[in-house]
Chains A and B, each alone.
Chain A
Amino acid sequence: MPEPLIFEYSVPGRRGVEMPEPDVPEAPFPEGFLREDLPLPEVSEVDVVRHFLRLSQMNYGVDKGFYPLGSCTMKYNPKINEEMARLPGFAQLHPYQDPETVQGALALMYHLQEFLKEIGGFAAVSLQPAAGSQGELAGILMIRAYHRDRGEGKKRIKMLIPDSAHGTNPASSAMAGLRVVNIPSDRRGNIDLEALRRECDETVAGLMITNPNTLGLFDENLMEAIELVHRCGGLIYGDGANMNALMGICKPGEMGFDVMHYNLHKTFSTPHGGGGPGAGPVGASERLAPYLPGPIVAIDRERTVRPDEPVYTLVWPERSIGRVRAFHGHFGVFVRAYTYIRMHGPRLREVSEAAVLNANYLLARLRGIYPVPYDRLCKHEFVIMGKVPGTPVRALDISKRLMDYGFHPPTNYFPLIVPEALMIEPTETESKATLDAFAEAMRRIAEEARSDPQRVQQAPHTTPVRRLDEARAARQLILRYVPTSEPRPTLAQA
């Protein structure tokens, strides 16, 4: 039975939360300013609790089971993170309080900047961007500003992007007014150096690299690609979405990346929230550090009396591209990421090692059951083809059937360069037993594809709803609740 909309529980005159009567004299409202109707639901608190609790039960989350969504790093979200972000001394701070009254919060941000610098090998970090894609936009704007300051702003208008890249890379480049040039991948899944060389000229603003790339492979041409682009005057943007493979393994900043965003909601265990909030801090090399979005946190040298009692303050990088959002970034997410990093310290390397161990183990278990288009050591994720030769079953069907086995599907149909792609990222927080169970489900689905393909093609069979008609949704475009004259369901019926 589908859950009614909260609007459908509404009964005129029913109340949820009541507010106190005014304790001050009431002021008259100006004439001609007021609205007549406010068509929000009228429901009780119990209605609200039961409704949203039932909705939650129709969801799948990491807390429920294995969630191998490639490129999203759906690792376990430690519960201590949630408690710490809710401490009143953090959750009840106003962003415009005097810095003297928020030294603890600024200290946390300062140290998080320092930790991220160390992990990525960068000279400076800004925590401002609200998500990875906003970090990308910031990074690209920094690259553009750098070229502009060298008198090459008008000339360098080309952003080179491998064909395996996330769609955000070309979209962010276009938002920054750059022309996107696609660079193909070679047969081993690396950047095609010949194609790259042909595009390297004085119009290149930069190259955007995701490493490990979206095939889960460490790019074997990485150092050469960086050198080629640097030699023609371009800069290197790093898409840090896959940083979970690299902590303590190598530092992009040391390898020649000029700017990179981190996804705190992927690598650093902050929850994905059903689609955010995330946070996309940006790290920069020496030459791009002055362009970082601001403000950032620094130690106030003038007011610091004792070195062991630093005074923190908000400052602007000297040639900043500006603000990318109001206030100081997703502070609540910073608290969670800080908690996570402090609980691991240098042992973050073991996190990345385990993430890569899990991916290679699962790849080994699935090899021979499904085709592997680029078959070599992977990093934190890998891509297989969702095909069972001789059957009509496709990647989408396999994904849907996995739901019946109690798993969240992998990312499907990405990267675009692999037909019927299934991109699998197990993360380090999953046990061998879980990986074995998933591999077993994948094996059984391949068997079913041969013995009873319809069962797979019509999956899922056990979820709150079956396959949904997406074409109908796009054609009829019902995008909000519109009251109907039909009788409203009551809680008793639901």
Chain B
Amino acid sequence: MRFVPHTEEERREMLRVIGVERIEDLFADVPEAYRFPPLNLPEPLTELEIRWELEALAEANIHTGQYACFLGAGAYRHFIPAVIDELLRRGEFYTAYTPYQPEVSQGTLQAMFEFQSMICALTGMEVANASHYDGSSALAEAVLMALRLTRGERPKVLMFPTIHPEYRAVVHTYVQHLDVRLEGESGWTLHQLRQPLLLLEELEAHLDAETAALVIPYPDFLGRVLPPSRLRETADRVHQAGALLIAVVNPIALALFEPPGNWGADIVVGEGQPLGIPLSFGGPYLGIMATRMAFVRQLPGRIVGETVDLEGRRGYVLTLSTREQHIRREKATSNITTNVGLMALAAAIYLSVMGRHGLRQVASLCYHKAHYLAERIASLSGYEVWREHPFFHEFVVRTPRPVAEINRILYEGYQILGGYDLGQADPELAGHMLLCATEMNTREELDALVEALGEIGPAREG
């Protein structure tokens, strides 16, 4: 057997030491009627054969390295420096588990401490955990955290309607059997959805003594960034109502824009995938979660802290473990145990090697390219671009034909993976496409998309 090292002779010797004759004897306690069922699986392949099979499966896909890609919507194609994967493939990192034994896990622990520090620097918050599964589950946990921090006495959570639709769906899943009402997220007209400041006012008007939290996206799902000065007022109103402000962020955008810690957010969550993690068809990604020190005991997930060893040397350990399931069981802050440590390591390496200068460059490139693309598309007849609010690297385009149809023509005829069809997120947004540009899109690609969209134009009669 490929990864079982025993020779027949060793196996016999081991059985002898155990005191049984045959390996089957080790399973005498399994009810006979169910013991040794057939396993109807395809016959085993050698390493060479599985390589052939998987290469064929991989080649059956069109990937973003082959076609120009303008999809974003929560998963972003960014430049990944070579050092990241080189270091991630150190067996000491990726074949270790959760650092329960700190003396032989200082590498993971220190890297997580550095990751926590960098997330605090990016978000402007005081404490971050060592990661959550992804942005959506981090948001669900942030909502549960806000419910605990308001002692379960406030059953209402206000959700901004242009939070990523799948994030909202995950929050619904998590709270479906709890006494919680999610409000504010649906029922808006296209006209209203186009005016984020109006939406903000509407949501603020619903703050009351029942409200545990208001959740604000930054940037929102449609790419728009709300003014930090305005959000400072929102934070004041939220706090006056005795509620908490939760921000859902894109970490690359935070290299440019005022971080949520500066405008009064209490909990910050987000998707860390843009920080050096491949698209990989949606996962594994990286949930980011940060808060104020005053709330640290309600923060779920692993947290690394600094201490000293017997000889006074600096070292790192998992700390505040009494929040966690293995000690508190049903009273724990969350059920989470395995998180996405290796992805957090990737982000820590990415943020180190990009540094304050490189990350700003990436964010600026995204911003400039997206704005160039938006401006050019706006000049095409039949297309309308939402440009009245500041946006980061994504924007909305009303298209002259159904989005799915345009996307099909783009990939079949132009080798372009077009934008996200917003009709999937909200029927009000049907006929609108969400386009994203990053530092990976060259000017030639941007121009090619504009040209293609111009050629596609409105559907012709006949």
- The listed residue (B89, B95, B417, B442) touching A62 by CB distance below 8 A is B95
Chain B nearest CB, measured from A54 CB (Å): 8
Contacting residues, chain B, for A38 (C-beta < 8 A): 121-122, 255, 356, 359-360
**Interface stretch (choices B31-39, B200-208, B235-243, B452-460):** B31-39
Interface-central residue, A32, A59, A69, by most chain B CB under 10 Å: A59
| In contact, B37 and A409 (Cβ under 8 angstroms) | no
Q: Hey, what's the 0/1 contact readout for A84-126 against B, CB within 8 Å counting as 1?
A: 1111111111111110011111011000000100110100000
Report if A34-B257 is in contact (Cβ < 8 Å); known contacts: A250-B34, A251-B37, A473-B306: yes
| In contact, A77 and B95 (Cβ under 8 angstroms) | yes
| In contact, A354 and B1 (Cβ under 8 angstroms) | yes
- The listed residue (B19, B77, B302) touching A94 by CB distance below 8 A is B77
> When chains A and B are docked, how far (Å) is the Cα of A252 from the Cα of B313?
49
Q: Number of A residues whose C-beta is below 8 Å from B? A: 202
Contacting residues, chain B, for A322 (C-beta < 8 A): 169-170, 172-173, 176
Enumerate B428-454 residues with CB–CB distance to A below 8 Å. 439, 442-443, 446
Q: Is B357 an interface residue (CB 8 A)?
A: yes
> When chains A and B are docked, how far (Å) is the Cα of A88 from the Cα of B420?
22
| In contact, A137 and B172 (Cβ under 8 angstroms) | no
Report if A137-B335 is in contact (Cβ < 8 Å); known contacts: A88-B63, A104-B60: yes
| In contact, B408 and A98 (Cβ under 8 angstroms) | yes
- The listed residue (B51, B92, B361) touching A19 by CB distance below 8 A is B361
Report if A255-B31 is in contact (Cβ < 8 Å); known contacts: A16-B358, A49-B86, A94-B64: yes
Q: Is A341 an interface residue (CB 8 A)?
A: yes
Q: Is B162 an interface residue (CB 8 A)?
A: no
- The listed residue (A16, A137, A173, A250) touching B355 by CB distance below 8 A is A16
Q: Is A318 an interface residue (CB 8 A)?
A: no
| In contact, B108 and A324 (Cβ under 8 angstroms) | no
Contacting residues, chain A, for B112 (C-beta < 8 A): 275
Q: Is A74 an interface residue (CB 8 A)?
A: yes
Interface-central residue, B176, B258, B355, B446, by most chain A CB under 10 Å: B355
Enumerate A55-91 residues with CB–CB distance to B below 8 Å. 55-64, 67, 69, 72, 74-78, 80, 82-91
Contacting residues, chain B, for A414 (C-beta < 8 A): 326
Q: Is A348 an interface residue (CB 8 A)?
A: yes
Contacting residues, chain B, for A492 (C-beta < 8 A): none
Contacting residues, chain B, for A272 (C-beta < 8 A): 94-98, 338
Contacting residues, chain B, for A78 (C-beta < 8 A): 2-3
Contacting residues, chain B, for A178 (C-beta < 8 A): 177
Contacting residues, chain B, for A197 (C-beta < 8 A): none
Enumerate B272-313 residues with CB–CB distance to A below 8 Å. 278-285, 293, 296, 302-311, 313
Q: Is A326 an interface residue (CB 8 A)?
A: yes
> When chains A and B are docked, how far (Å) is the Cα of A92 from the Cα of B411?
16
| In contact, A477 and B319 (Cβ under 8 angstroms) | yes
Nearest A residue to B353 by beta-carbon distance?
Answer: A16
Contacting residues, chain B, for A472 (C-beta < 8 A): 307-308
| In contact, A278 and B338 (Cβ under 8 angstroms) | yes
| In contact, A321 and B173 (Cβ under 8 angstroms) | yes
| In contact, A24 and B106 (Cβ under 8 angstroms) | no
Chain A nearest CB, measured from B210 CB (Å): 19
Q: Is A420 an interface residue (CB 8 A)?
A: no
| In contact, A465 and B309 (Cβ under 8 angstroms) | yes
Q: Is A42 an interface residue (CB 8 A)?
A: yes
Report if A271-B51 is in contact (Cβ < 8 Å); known contacts: A22-B365, A170-B330, A177-B177: no
| In contact, B356 and A59 (Cβ under 8 angstroms) | no
Enumerate A321-341 residues with CB–CB distance to B below 8 Å. 321-333, 335, 338-339, 341
Contacting residues, chain A, for B14 (C-beta < 8 A): 357-358, 361, 432
> When chains A and B are docked, how far (Å) is the Cα of A247 from the Cα of B18?
21
Nearest A residue to B172 by beta-carbon distance?
Answer: A322
| In contact, B319 and A332 (Cβ under 8 angstroms) | no
Contacting residues, chain A, for B362 (C-beta < 8 A): 19
Nearest A residue to B89 by beta-carbon distance?
Answer: A82
| In contact, B284 and A130 (Cβ under 8 angstroms) | yes
Contacting residues, chain A, for B307 (C-beta < 8 A): 468-470, 472-473, 476, 478
- The listed residue (A17, A86, A429, A477) touching B358 by CB distance below 8 A is A17
| In contact, A56 and B120 (Cβ under 8 angstroms) | no
> When chains A and B are docked, how far (Å) is the Cα of A59 from the Cα of B368?
42
Contacting residues, chain A, for B77 (C-beta < 8 A): 92, 94
Report if A465-B103 is in contact (Cβ < 8 Å); known contacts: A19-B439, A97-B62, A130-B133: yes
Q: Is A305 an interface residue (CB 8 A)?
A: no
| In contact, B75 and A53 (Cβ under 8 angstroms) | no
Report if A175-B58 is in contact (Cβ < 8 Å); known contacts: A131-B337, A326-B135, A468-B315: no
| In contact, B30 and A249 (Cβ under 8 angstroms) | yes
Contacting residues, chain A, for B324 (C-beta < 8 A): 167
Nearest B residue to A13 by beta-carbon distance?
Answer: B357
Nearest A residue to B73 by beta-carbon distance?
Answer: A96
Nearest B residue to A481 by beta-carbon distance?
Answer: B117
> When chains A and B are docked, how far (Å) is the Cα of A468 from the Cα of B100?
12
Enumerate B78-126 residues with CB–CB distance to A below 8 Å. 79, 81, 83, 85-87, 89-108, 110-114, 116-118, 120-122, 124, 126
**Interface stretch (choices B181-189, B190-198, B343-351):** B343-351
| In contact, B371 and A473 (Cβ under 8 angstroms) | no
Main secondary structure of the interface of A (DSSP, over half): loop
Interface-central residue, A6, A331, A478, A481, by most chain B CB under 10 Å: A6
> When chains A and B are docked, how far (Å) is the Cα of A390 from the Cα of B327?
29
Chain A nearest CB, measured from B4 CB (Å): 4
- The listed residue (A35, A67, A247, A269) touching B257 by CB distance below 8 A is A35
Q: Hey, what's the 0/1 contact readout for A353-366 against B, CB within 8 Å counting as 1?
A: 11011101100110
> When chains A and B are docked, how far (Å) is the Cα of A412 from the Cα of B348?
30
Q: Is B157 an interface residue (CB 8 A)?
A: no
Chain B nearest CB, measured from A51 CB (Å): 7
Contacting residues, chain B, for A27 (C-beta < 8 A): 367-368, 371-372, 375
Report if A131-B50 is in contact (Cβ < 8 Å); known contacts: A15-B358, A88-B58: no
Q: Is A307 an interface residue (CB 8 A)?
A: no
**Interface stretch (choices A229-237, A282-290, A441-449, A456-464):** A456-464
Q: Is B414 an interface residue (CB 8 A)?
A: no
Chain A nearest CB, measured from B252 CB (Å): 12
Contacting residues, chain B, for A16 (C-beta < 8 A): 81, 352-355, 358
| In contact, A168 and B284 (Cβ under 8 angstroms) | no
Q: Is B423 an interface residue (CB 8 A)?
A: no
Contacting residues, chain B, for A134 (C-beta < 8 A): 133, 137, 335-336
> When chains A and B are docked, how far (Å) is the Cα of A293 from the Cα of B169?
11
- The listed residue (B39, B136, B330) touching A348 by CB distance below 8 A is B39
| In contact, A61 and B93 (Cβ under 8 angstroms) | yes
Report if A275-B99 is in contact (Cβ < 8 Å); known contacts: A59-B104, A473-B319: yes
Chain B nearest CB, measured from A105 CB (Å): 5
Additional pairs, 16, CB under 8 Å, beyond known A43-B352, A62-B91: A5-B117, A20-B365, A35-B255, A57-B92, A64-B92, A137-B335, A218-B29, A247-B39, A249-B35, A276-B343, A323-B166, A360-B26, A465-B315, A468-B102, A468-B308, A468-B317
A and B contact pairs by CB, cutoff 8 A, 14 listed: A16-B352, A16-B353, A52-B352, A87-B55, A89-B63, A247-B39, A250-B37, A327-B75, A354-B4, A403-B101, A429-B4, A432-B10, A466-B103, A476-B306
A-B pairs with the 6 shortest C-beta distances? Answer: A89-B58, A327-B282, A63-B91, A104-B60, A275-B341, A273-B342
